[in-house]
Structure 1
Amino acid sequence: MSSEDALRPQSLLLSFLGDHVLGRDVCVYSGSVIEVFARAGVGEQATRSTLARMVQRGLLRKQREGRRMYFGLTERCEDVLRDGERRVWHVGAVNREWDGSWTLLGFSLPESWQRQRHDLRARLTWSGFGPLFSGVWIAPGVVDVTALVAELGLGAHVKVFRAHADDGTDIDAMVEETWGLAHVAAAYEEFGARWEERGGQPPDDAGDALALRLTLQTDWLRIIRRDPRLPVKHLPDDWPAERAEKTFRAVHERLSPLAASGAERLIDLVPVRDEPGQA
């Protein structure tokens, strides 16, 4: 199975919502999601299950229009999508603005809190942290984790510090041990090779172009989720992130005109209604 095949339906759905719903005060018809996802290789049942789970998790809200069910964003989902939008379009894959500081986070959770530990580690990884020691994680620069910790309800179990490395600390060795740069680099190389081949010639069908662009964006977000955006001075000279980012942007631009036509044809949107007792 390729990396593309392994993309999770929820990841695809978040990319879809970020593209077509975020910032527009609209809800999207479930049938539109099902049709686009079918073109991306995701079955109807998996799509419906993903929509239902995201409603249960407080990420989506339902709005009925006649016999059709539409889905809109909750405030929590908007926060998630805006963070992803910032990482994809504004931050960039290479960190050239590091001020020499580090954020240290220590946590101690009861052994029985396996879910909370998993959720905390996942969120820390997305925020650029890596495990320095058992229960101590580190990220370059100043990272505000206040909202993250509060959302998980772990304020009493987490301590955060700002730090600078001592002159005798081998930062390059620490970076390699903490983040395993070879794996991050390989992911960028594989992404570049995959999309240079796949994105060279857009599909003829607008709907297929829309699905392919969705897959591209989801694949790129999956790659940068693994990347802590380490300071460029502590990365190898041939670091592949910038090349991969150029490939992403070039293929996205190539697909977008036809994908926009596909979106206009396939995606049914309605304005958000705020009504008491709405499902």
Structure 2
Amino acid sequence: MAPEIGTRTLVHGLLREDGTVDGAELYAVAEALGMTDQQVRLCVKRLVADGRFTQEGRGRRSRLHAAPDAAGSLAPDVEYVRHAYRQDRGLAPWDGNWHLFAFAVPETERRARDAFRDTLLHLGAAPLQGGLYVCANAIGPIVEAHADGLGVRPVLTRFTTRDLRVGEEDDPVRLAARLWPLREVAARHSALAALAQARLDRLTGPDRPTGTERLVCAVELAAAFTDAMRPDPLLPPELLPRPWPGTRARALFARCWEALAEQGDAEGPGSLRLFRLYDRTGAAGGGTARPGPGPSATRRHPED
């Protein structure tokens, strides 16, 4: 089942490498996804009003130009995705260390406290008790960078241990199942795998999709990939149930991306910004990814 895709997500998904969105493609793909022209027009109007895009022309003859700081809403961070595929290939084994972070921010700085807590959760850490979080990946330098930005570095304590016990439990695999919502994450990956398999069958079957259909496929896959990856703490394989559906889902996703690349052209999915991002991760083709951008304030970057 394809994920529900909003109009704003669609616009960002069709953003090309040159920072533009073609109006004809936008309305054609929107129609294929069951959206009305009115929905698209209202979305474009809001994006322009927010300063995210400027518009040249109207309707299907228009072209949107992204503002310099406009960011796509579909694609997870390059380094985060790279790390996931490195784990899938056995290139990022767990060293047995747990990384813990403790902080005590006063109520007078509640906004900073909440933002820092959300940062830890977004980086894949799990709460142990009030003000104490644990992660299986070495995210310490990234956490400290965020702490500096929020002004909470003086009240942050971080340490590493190989001896973690919660209650009477000290088995790493059982601890991971207790601390992270692995069933929910696995279900999202299973949904991605089902969609990717269906789209792969279509892309490699005798009845090849049209250009618009390929664009729809690319946006659907990217949205489903993000839906699966965003809540994933990217625990080391040693801590996950076997078989882990994330490995199969990402492999199928990569095969779909390869098929889209083979069938693409200058005006097809290959020119989309999100397509280039996934290509840079090394997911497509299973190659070695080129280095991605530096740490972001909104994405996870497990260290290699």
Residue by residue over 1:186-224, the C-alpha shift from the partner in whole angstroms, topping out at 9 and shown as x without a partner, is 211122122212432136320221122122012112211
Per the alignment, do residues 243 and 81 of structure 1 end up closer, same or farther by CA in structure 2, a change over 3 Å counting? Answer: closer
1:70 to 39, 44, 65: 65
**Alpha-carbon distance in 1 for matches of 2:114, 2:48:** 23
1:139 aligns with 2:135: yes
Q: Who is 1:193 aligned against?
A: 194
Indicate if the aligned counterparts of 1:37 and 1:211 stay in contact, CA closer than 8 A: yes
- 1:244 corresponds in structure 2 to 249
d(CA) in 2 for partners of 1:260, 1:112:
56
Q: Structure 2: how far apart are the matches of 1:210 and 1:141?
A: 35
Determine the structure 2 residue equivalent to 1:27.
19
1:130 equivalent to 2:117? Answer no
Q: Is the 8 A contact 1:12 1:214 kept in 2?
A: yes
The CA distance in 2 between the partners of 1:11 and 1:107, in whole Å, is: 35
Give the superposed CA RMSD: 3.9
What's the offset of the Cα at 1:29?
4.4
> Retained in 1: the 8 A contact 2:147–2:153?
no
Shift of 1:248: 0.6
Q: Which amino acid aligns with 2:222?
A: Q
Contact persistence 1:103–1:141 (CA under 8 A) = yes
**Structure 2 stretches of 5 or more lacking a match?**
273-304
The 2-side partners of 1:36 and 1:109 are apart by: 50
Residue of structure 1 equivalent to 2:224: 219
- 1:152-200 CA-to-partner distances (Å, cap 9, x unmatched) read x252586141311317633223211211211111211122122212432
Q: Confirm or deny: 8 A CA contact 2:25 2:212 kept in the other structure.
A: no
2: CA distance, partners of 1:149 / 1:32 = 45
Distance in structure 1 (CA, Å) of the matches to 2:269 and 2:13: 17
Higher strand share: 1
2:209 match: 204
Structure 2 residue identity aligned to 1:146:
E
* TM-score using structure 1 length: 0.70
2:260 partner amino acid: L
* 166 and 252 in structure 1: CA distance in 2 versus 1, 3 angstrom threshold: same
Structure 1: gaps (5+ residues): 268-279
Do 1:33 and 1:47's aligned partners in 2 also have CA atoms closer than 8 Å? no
**Inter-partner Cα distance in structure 2 for 1:119 and 1:84:** 19
Which of 140, 157, 162 is the matching residue for 2:159?
Answer: 162
**Identical-pair percentage:** 23
The equivalent position to 2:260 in structure 1, one of 255, 261, 271, is 255
Q: 1:233 aligns with which of 210, 230, 238?
A: 238
Alpha-carbon offset, residue 36 of structure 1: 6.3
Contact 2:21–2:65 (CA under 8 A) maintained in structure 1 = yes
For 1:14 and 1:162, the matched residues in 2 are separated by 39
Residue 46 in structure 1 maps to residue 36 in structure 2: no
Number of residue pairs aligned between Structure 1 and Structure 2:
250
Say if 1:127 and 1:10 are closer, same or farther in 2 by CA, change over 3 A.
farther
- CA deviation map 1:225-273 (0-9, x unaligned): 1111112111112111111111111122222344445438998xxxxxx
Letter in structure 2 aligned against 1:135: G
**Deviation per residue, 1:17-67 (Å, 9 max, x gap):** 4xx33xxxx4314736743652445531235435654x4xxxx4x567799
Q: Distance in 2 between matches of 1:261 and 1:255?
A: 12
Contact 2:2–2:195 (CA under 8 A) maintained in structure 1:
no
